[in-house]
Amino acid sequence: MSQFADPSVWQSWMKMPDMAAPPAANQIAGLLKDYGAAIAPARLEEFRNDYLQKAARLWQDFMSGKTPELHDRRFSGSEWQSNPMSAFTAASYLLNAEFMMALADAVDATPRDRQKIRFAVQQMVDAMSPANFFATNPEAQRHMLESKGESLTKGLANMLNDLQKGRISQSDESAFEVGRNVGTSPGEVVFENELFQLIQYAPTTPQVRAVPLLMIPPCINKFYILDLQPENSLVRYVVEQGNTVLMVSWRNPDKSMANVSWDDYVERGAIQAIEVARELSGQDKVHVFGFCVGGTIAATALAVLAARGQQPAASLSLLTTLLDFSDTGVLEVFVDEAQVVLREQTLGRGGIMPGRDLATTFSALRPNDLVWNYVQHNYLKGKEPPAFDLLYWNADSTNLPGPMFCWYLRNTYLENKLKQPGRVTVCGQPVDLGKIAAPVFLYGSREDHIVPWEAAFASMSLLNPKNAKANKFVLGASGHIAGVINPASKNKRSYWVNDKNGKARPRTAAAWFEGATEHKGSWWPEWAAFLAEHGGEQVAAPSSAGNDKYKPIEPAPGRFVKVRADA
């Protein structure tokens, strides 16, 4: 094995006039040195020869006046093709990017280190796109000429405004207001404590199923992703299907919550919400729903209750949720022993993890879509971002209590203890997910970069391990959010089910997918049918929210969800 080539060697590879060495050579060499990584000399020579051949061909085409084809949406504007120098610059960049990523993939290192190296190289590659710089972006230059410089003035103003906010504007935030045109499903807050408010939504059908549905969203985001606008509200949909729906609205933590723990989120959060839902409905059991981290909290809470001899779930629905953290996708690059120890030292004994930092981390997972796209649009071209409800929600960050955040990082992402029966204790009880006695609906998104769908599928073997018929898995198209928020009324995208779910449990995600059937449209009706199957008899819809013990406090969506992390 050989260490990554010295940058001076890279220069010697470039035989064509004006052809620069692959960008960021020093940084990549430093990365490999830091990780003690290497590339086999034979592979390095193979990449070198391939690169030189393609570079020579590109240079010859340029000299002969042939414009290169650009198969990348960043360079889809007509300005890139109409300007030979811009087309050549973009093509050179794409060639260098291809070469650098190939090298990152060929590194001889542990899977975790290779993932980190690849992520770092990808960040550098994306940042160096000629579309990100005014001097090399012909679209931005055209806007400047056509506006007589106004686009540059406006772009500078947009950048200064974002610097004051501490984040890039992805949507016209003045177009939305929580409770006015997002998070608008009618209902009442019927309970609150220092961690959450509980919303009971108004029924829209004369009868409802006896078993209520308790929705536990992620505490890392605001709940109204599930209730954006009427046409794409999952809340509204399940209410219209004849369910009594209750929603946990987590408080946006401030300094007063600096010592709140994971146990608190489970005991005073999920378990408390389950108890209130039972008392409100008069039912022994409730449907329990969890989305992303909310699903991890919900499943942990039910395991704690099972250890106490209680089984309050009529069913458990988990959307894009990790219980087995063996495969955490690209997020793995942010979690290792050194990083977790650093967080524990700074936040573990008290403090607040800023929502802004969390948002920056998630944006880094898709930099072209969530960072550089807006640099080009807002700053280089001086345009205003369009009004988009999902991106407005994406910018509405939430903080996290330090002790809770540190416990979550170490015990799940780093040490993967939840999947091992009795390995971790929560609320004084050993957690065994296999002790939860409830039928389970699991959903994963095929293009999810936060919870890989195979990792979501892994919960199939953790829940009801001896009863294959009790679990149903559905795979949706698209990503972590867009796959979930796929309204049934729009009949878009598709989803997969495996009709053999109740006969023989496939051992792997690949085996499940091999036997799955694709269906056009939304997966929501599949979930509605699951809830109906386990929802009990039809009863008269409640005429008002709450009861004698839990009286309405304020209209939905409540005040907790309106508190901003950057306020």
| Residues recognised as catalytic | 292
DSSP string, 402-415: HHHHHHHIIIIIIT
Q: Which two tokens stand for residue 26?
A: 């020093």
| Residue matched to tokens 């800023």 | 354
Assess contact for 325 and 418: CB atoms under 8 A: yes
Q: Which residues 6+ apart lie within 8 Å of 545 measured at CB?
A: 187, 188, 190, 200, 202, 552
Assess contact for 35 and 54: CB atoms under 8 A: no
Assess contact for 392 and 249: CB atoms under 8 A: no
Long-range contacts made by residues 47-50, C-beta under 8 angstroms, separation at least 24?
A: 47/99, 47/102, 47/103, 47/106, 48/13, 50/99
Q: How many CB atoms lie within 10 A of CB 540?
A: 9
Q: Which residues 6+ apart lie within 8 Å of 160 measured at CB?
A: none
* CB neighbour class for 366 (10 Å; exposed up to 12, middle 13-18, buried from 19): middle
DSSP string, 176-212: --BTTTBS---EEEEEE-SSEEEEEEPP-SSEEESS-
Angle in degrees, 0-180, between the axes of helices 138-146 and 150-165, rounded to the nearest 10: 120
Q: How many CB atoms lie within 10 A of CB 11?
A: 12
Q: Which two tokens stand for residue 456?
A: 């979501």
Q: What separation in angstroms does the CA of 302 have from each of 127, 271, 432?
A: 44, 8, 9
Residue 476, classed as helix, strand or coil, is strand
- Strands 245-250 and 213-216 come out as parallel
Q: Using CA atoms, how far apart are residues 107 and 251, in angstroms rounded to an integer?
A: 44
Quick one: which of 213, 201, 164, 206 has its CA closest to 316?
Answer: 213
Assess contact for 20 and 54: CB atoms under 8 A: no
* CB neighbour class for 61 (10 Å; exposed up to 12, middle 13-18, buried from 19): middle
Q: Which two tokens stand for residue 397?
A: 């960050």
Q: Which two tokens stand for residue 261?
A: 């723990």
| Residue matched to tokens 């890039």 | 168
Assess contact for 28 and 100: CB atoms under 8 A: yes
Cα four-point dihedral sign 230, 233, 235, 238: positive
Q: How many CB atoms lie within 10 A of CB 383?
A: 16
Kindly tell me the number of DSSP H helices and DSSP E strands found in the chain: 21, 17
Q: How many CB atoms lie within 10 A of CB 422?
A: 11
